[in-house]
Amino acid sequence: MCMLFVLLTAVAMLSYRGGSRINPTYPRYSFVHNFFSDLGLARSYSGEPNAGPGALFLVALTGAGSGLALFFVAFGGFFVHSVYARVAGVLGTLAGVFAGVCFIGVAWCPADRFMDWHVRFVLWAFQAFPVAVLLYVLAS
């Protein structure tokens, strides 16, 4: 699953039509000038349609979010040695699944069409993930 994510996003980066918020005339994707989410735009900053890279980004991030959610569901079962561990483990699982669902939301809400939701999903995903990890640490 990880290799598929890397492959799909690499192909999306190579086929991105260019441009960034800072420099719309830049000819390709740039790690320095583009956000990762720019790969999912409906139209690149250069004004070109971005259907190919956008579809690859959608599939890659939907798969990553799904895999993350499934990981947290499976991993939560390890914390059964006490009531405290079970509670922290369940809360960690809920936070982790929420993070995975939010990454899927990032994929399905391109920033140029649904900026408010896109930003919410990004923030929620990156806030929920460390909470899940912290709860798992407390449960161990």
Its domain, for residue 51, covers: 2-139
pLDDT at 2: 86
Q: How far is CA 37 from CA 50, 92, 124, 133, in A?
A: 12, 26, 15, 24
Condensed to tens digits (0 to 9), the pLDDT of residues 58-89 reads: 999 999 999 999 999 999 888 888 999 999 99
Class of residue 23 by CB neighbours under 10 A (exposed 0-12, middle 13-18, buried 19+)? middle
How many domains, in total, are found in the chain? 1
